[in-house]
């Protein structure tokens, strides 16, 4: 059988963007073209019998059915000369798609009206003049001024537009500094409910539920600016299902499902029995863009939750009874409910596919990634690590494909980002590439990870402490259990929080013989003032701000420990990474070079924080080549 190669990245098909009407399912399938260095996508339709292509592409995505099921709306970029986002309509029976409207700065979301005659669209707009047409100077008056993957966002907000399906005419319904995130129509069609941020500068973690009366054009805020609400379901004019975080533990607070009364302002946590985040936080580098649905049907609220190393589909009723609907060692990506339940899922050795759950039976109905069956893959082997404080840590090991008993192999410790994400039963192309090249791969969910409850996830003000110990104890346990690991040839790598931890590790131990840090943090002070989330993420995670806690910020900065570094380090960073901006890489590289350490720096132009997941295909290939090459140089050479 074949070994999975770096350039096999171009074979993956990424499924996502699913919507359901009765027995019909529309979804997006994206492909990665190494030849054209781009991504291309089409919409496919499953009619209850077979899957078939529905649109021609090349950039079609995010399909949604009209209320009567006769139309499908979708977003696209078919006009090669235009930078605007395009909204199309196409009959469900097929035919030519009709361009309904273009939006200059993109489309965040949209919904059909109950009568199917209008669409309500969320789109970014300029709320104040940013600069003159021929001017290249940025005059900035607010924070955040840029955002990862988008670029400059100052002076922009996402607002609601009403678009007529016949004429394509649009009417702006909201204004000012409201930043709208998601919305729903009332069943009568005379109101629009929406989630928005009122003040991203002063209250960046707060979002509220609002209602817009279409006749009077009046907007009323229904919540009290205490929570971060991400989605909702309208039960009636006063009763709502909210998916939200109360922020009691700051960012580590789990997102739960609540019942909310808009008159009394009372909330009831429906998912109190399951201390898990109501979304999928598993890491994967070959997944499609998907919605995170919240669906109310027959007295049950259906939602995805991360439960340890799994992302499963659950449902909860209004009394708080929770049931697991779609379980297993896998990652449910998205779902929809029509005549039956449809979902997209993957696992550690199977990329994304479409599945149907009907009459208690599950069936895979697509085979976009069937080519993977021709490849020999290393299946992750799970083991538990009892940490020194008694808490159990989930960990996995993947043997190299050429494994032979009695032989010693170099190993690589992989550390996930977040920190409130998780590794588990999802496909990681990177891991399979490394095992194909003869490495053992070790990965785990240390303290700070999602899926194990709020207390487990809460490492605020304690970065580099218990989380660092957990990782070292995972390596210790792996060496005890698996005698084929060469303890003299272990490397470490990670991105984002995993990059921070890689930087921290090389400044605190010499046990690793090679390291690759990616999209990392090296200095919490500079991170606070230069990144899109730094001004609220750093105070939440490190404590207070740099003026109140300079010693704490510096104490937790890997840059402080640069003189201790003895491990050869490769720094990989994207030039347009606004989540962990370029200075994080530059100052760590400069410090290590100045101190005479073994270090190299690889910078990727035009890329952002998501290089490993959605960067240009050729850059993604180069990144993997750099990681594998560095590890081969120092662990095999």
**Mutual orientation of helices 466-481 and 497-506 as an angle, nearest 10°?**
80
Confidence bin at 132 (pLDDT 50/70/90): confident
Residues 543/552, Cβ–Cβ less than 8 Å: yes
Distance CA 269, CA 74 (A): 35
Is the predicted pLDDT of residue 28 greater than 80, yes or no? Answer: yes
Residues forming a β-bridge with 624 = none
- Strand 61-65 and strand 146-147: the pairing is unpaired
Query: What mean pLDDT is predicted for residues 201-213?
Result: 97
Yes or no: say if 355 and 27 are a contact pair by the CB < 8 Å rule: no
324: how many CB neighbours lie within 10 A of its CB?
A: 14
Active site residues: 496, 609
- What is the reported pTM? 0.97
DSSP-derived 3-state class of residue 473: helix
**Strand 514-518 vs strand 485-495: parallel, antiparallel, or unpaired?**
parallel
Beta strands in 391-510 (DSSP E): 392-398, 409-415, 440-444, 485-495
- Which residues on neighbouring strands pair with residue 180, listed in sequence order? 196
Report CA torsion sign: 523, 525, 530, 536.
positive
Kindly write down the DSSP assignment for every residue of 511-550, as one continuous string. --SEEEEES--S-HHHHHHHSSSHHHHHIIIIIS-TTT-H
Cross-strand pairs, 51 = 46
Residues 6+ apart with CB under 8 A from 632: 437
Other C-beta atoms closer than 10 Å to the C-beta of 176 total 10
Q: Where does residue 142 fall: left (phi above 0), alpha (psi -120 to 50 degrees), or beta otherwise?
A: beta
Q: What is the DSSP string of 104-127?
A: TT---EEEE-TTSSEEEEEEEEES
Over residues 290-318, the pLDDT tens digits come to 999 999 999 999 999 999 999 999 999 99
Tens-place pLDDT, residues 438-480: 999 999 999 999 999 999 999 999 999 999 999 999 999 999 9
What letters, b where the CB count within 10 A reaches 16 and e where it falls short, cover 205-240? bbbbbbbbebeeeebeebbeeebbbbbbbbeeeeeb
pLDDT at residue 133 above 90? no
- Paired tokens of 551: 């010693």
How far, CA to CA in Å, does 381 sit from each of 125, 346, 400?
49, 17, 12
Whole-angstrom distance, CA of residue 136 vs CA of residue 153: 15
pLDDT at 568: 98
pLDDT digit string, tens, across residues 344-384: 999 999 999 999 999 999 999 999 999 999 999 999 999 99
Give the containing element (helix H, strand E) for 617.
helix 617-635
CA-CA distance, 293 to 284, in Å (whole number)?
Answer: 19
Pairing of strands 2-3, 375-376: parallel
The tens digit of pLDDT for each residue in 515-539 reads 999 999 999 999 999 999 999 999 9
- CA dihedral 96→97→98→101, nearest 10 degrees, is -170
For all residues of the chain together, what is the average pLDDT?
A: 97
Across 71-100, average pLDDT: 93
Rounded to an integer, what distance in angstroms lies between the CA atom of residue 78 and that of residue 85? Answer: 9
Q: What is the mean pLDDT of residues 320-342?
A: 98
Question: Using N-to-C axis directions, what is the helix angle for 429-436 and 617-635, rounded to 10°?
Answer: 40
User: What residues contact 298, with CB distance under 8 A and at least 6 apart?
Assistant: none
598-613 pLDDT tens trace? 999 999 999 999 999 9
Domain range 378-635, CATH class: alpha beta
CA distance 586 to 596: 15
Q: Domain segments of the chain: what residues?
A: 275-372, 378-635
């Amino acid at each position: 059988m074949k070994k999975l190669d770096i350039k096999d990245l171009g074979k993956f098909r990424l499924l996502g963007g699913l919507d359901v009407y009765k027995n019909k399912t529309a979804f997006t399938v994206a492909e990665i073209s190494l030849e054209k260095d781009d991504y291309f996508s089409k919409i496919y339709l499953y009619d209850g019998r077979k899957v078939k292509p529905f649109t021609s592409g090349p950039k079609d995505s995010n399909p949604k059915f009209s209320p009567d099921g006769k139309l499908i709306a979708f977003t696209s970029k078919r006009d090669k000369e235009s930078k605007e986002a395009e909204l199309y309509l196409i009959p469900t029976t097929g035919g030519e798609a009709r361009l309904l409207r273009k939006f200059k700065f993109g489309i965040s979301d949209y919904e059909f009206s109950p009568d199917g005659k209008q669409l309500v669209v969320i789109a970014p707009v300029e709320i104040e003049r940013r600069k003159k047409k021929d001017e290249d100077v940025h005059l900035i008056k607010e924070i955040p001024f840029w955002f990862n993957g988008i670029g400059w966002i100052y002076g922009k907000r996402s607002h609601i537009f009403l678009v007529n399906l016949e004429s394509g005419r649009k009417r702006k319904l909201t204004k000012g500094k409201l930043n709208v995130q998601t919305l729903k129509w009332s069943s009568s069609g005379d109101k629009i409910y929406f989630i928005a941020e009122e003040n991203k500068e002063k209250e960046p973690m707060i979002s509220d539920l609002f209602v817009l009366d279409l006749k009077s054009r009046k907007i009323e805020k229904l919540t009290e600016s205490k929570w971060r609400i991400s989605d909702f379901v309208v039960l009636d004019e006063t009763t709502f299902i909210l998916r939200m975080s109360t922020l009691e533990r700051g960012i580590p607070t789990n997102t739960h499902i609540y019942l909310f009364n808009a008159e009394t302002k009372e909330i009831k946590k429906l998912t109190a029995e399951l201390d898990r985040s109501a979304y999928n936080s598993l890491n994967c580098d070959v997944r499609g863009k998907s919605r995170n649905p919240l669906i109310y049907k027959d007295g049950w609220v259906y939602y995805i939750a991360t439960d340890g190393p799994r992302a499963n589909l659950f449902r909860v009723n209004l009394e708080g009874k929770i049931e697991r609907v779609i379980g297993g060692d896998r990652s449910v990506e998205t779902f929809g409910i029509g005549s039956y339940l449809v979902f997209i899922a993957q696992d550690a050795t199977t990329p994304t596919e479409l599945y149907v759950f009907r009459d208690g039976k599950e069936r895979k109905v697509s085979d976009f990634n069937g080519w993977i069956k021709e490849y020999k893959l290393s299946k992750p082997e799970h083991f538990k690590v009892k940490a020194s404080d008694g808490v159990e840590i989930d960990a996995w090991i993947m043997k190299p494909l050429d494994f032979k008993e009695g032989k010693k192999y170099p190993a690589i410790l992989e550390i996930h980002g977040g920190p409130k994400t998780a590794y588990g039963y999802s496909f990681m192309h990177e891991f399979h590439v490394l095992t194909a090249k003869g490495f053992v791969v070790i990965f785990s969910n240390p303290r700070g990870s999602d899926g194990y409850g709020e207390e487990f996830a809460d490492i605020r003000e304690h970065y580099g402490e218990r989380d660092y110990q957990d990782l070292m104890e995972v390596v210790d346990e792996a060496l005890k259990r698996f005698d084929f690991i060469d303890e003299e040839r272990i490397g470490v790598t990670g991105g984002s929080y995993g990059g921070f931890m890689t930087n921290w590790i090389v400044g605190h131990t010499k046990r690793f013989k090679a390291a690759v840090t990616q999209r990392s943090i090296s200095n919490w002070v500079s991170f606070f003032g230069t990144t899109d989330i730094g001004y609220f993420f750093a105070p939440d995670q490190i404590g207070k701000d740099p003026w109140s806690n300079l010693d704490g910020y510096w104490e937790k900065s890997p840059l402080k420990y640069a003189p201790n570094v003895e491990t050869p380090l490769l720094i990989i960073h994207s030039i347009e990474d606004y989540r962990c901006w370029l200075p994080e890489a530059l100052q760590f590289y400069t410090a290590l070079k100045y101190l005479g350490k073994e270090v190299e720096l690889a910078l990727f132009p035009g890329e952002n924080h998501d290089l490993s997941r959605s960067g240009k295909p050729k850059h993604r290939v180069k990144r993997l080549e750099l990681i594998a090459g560095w590890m081969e140089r120092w662990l095999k050479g």
